[in-house]
C-alpha cells in the first residue's frame, strides 16, 4: 500500500494491482460485441433475461437487509455533497 505522503494515490495502486482482471473484463468477447454492435441478438436476449432474474433477487436481498438493519427505523433523505435544489 502507499505510504502516507507518497505520490502514488491509493486508487492508482489498486487499479494497477487489479489490471489483469480489468483487462479480462474489458476485452471479454461479450463486452466487445456489445460495444461494437457485433453481438448476436439472441445472446444479448439471454443475458437480459438472466440479468433480470439476478436484479430481482439483488433488490430483494437489499430490501430484506434494510428492513432487518438495527436502528433503521425510518428513511432519511441525504443529499450528496455539493447538491443544490
Q: Name the grid cell of 69.
A: 438493519
Position 3 scores a pLDDT of 62
Name residues whose C-beta falls within 8 Å of residue 65's C-beta, 6 or more positions apart in sequence: none
Instruction: Please report how many Cα atoms fall inside a 13 Å half-sphere around the Cα of residue 68, on the Cβ side.
Output: 6
Q: Name the grid cell of 61.
A: 436481498
Name residues whose C-beta falls within 8 Å of residue 43's C-beta, 6 or more positions apart in sequence: 30, 33
Name residues whose C-beta falls within 8 Å of residue 33's C-beta, 6 or more positions apart in sequence: 39, 40, 43
pTM over 0.85, yes/no? no
Q: What is the pLDDT of residues 9-53, one digit of tens each?
A: 999 999 999 999 999 999 999 999 999 999 999 999 999 999 999
Position 78 scores a pLDDT of 65
Amino acid at each position: 500500500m502507499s505510504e502516507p505522503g507518497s505520490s502514488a494515490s491509493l486508487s492508482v495502486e489498486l487499479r494497477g494491482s487489479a489490471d489483469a482482471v480489468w483487462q479480462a473484463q474489458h476485452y471479454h468477447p461479450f463486452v466487445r460485441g456489445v460495444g461494437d454492435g457485433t453481438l448476436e441478438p439472441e445472446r444479448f436476449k439471454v443475458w437480459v433475461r438472466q440479468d433480470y432474474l439476478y436484479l430481482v433477487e439483488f433488490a430483494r436481498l437489499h430490501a430484506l437487509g434494510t428492513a432487518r438493519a438495527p436502528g433503521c427505523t425510518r428513511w432519511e433523505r441525504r443529499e450528496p455533497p455539493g447538491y443544490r435544489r
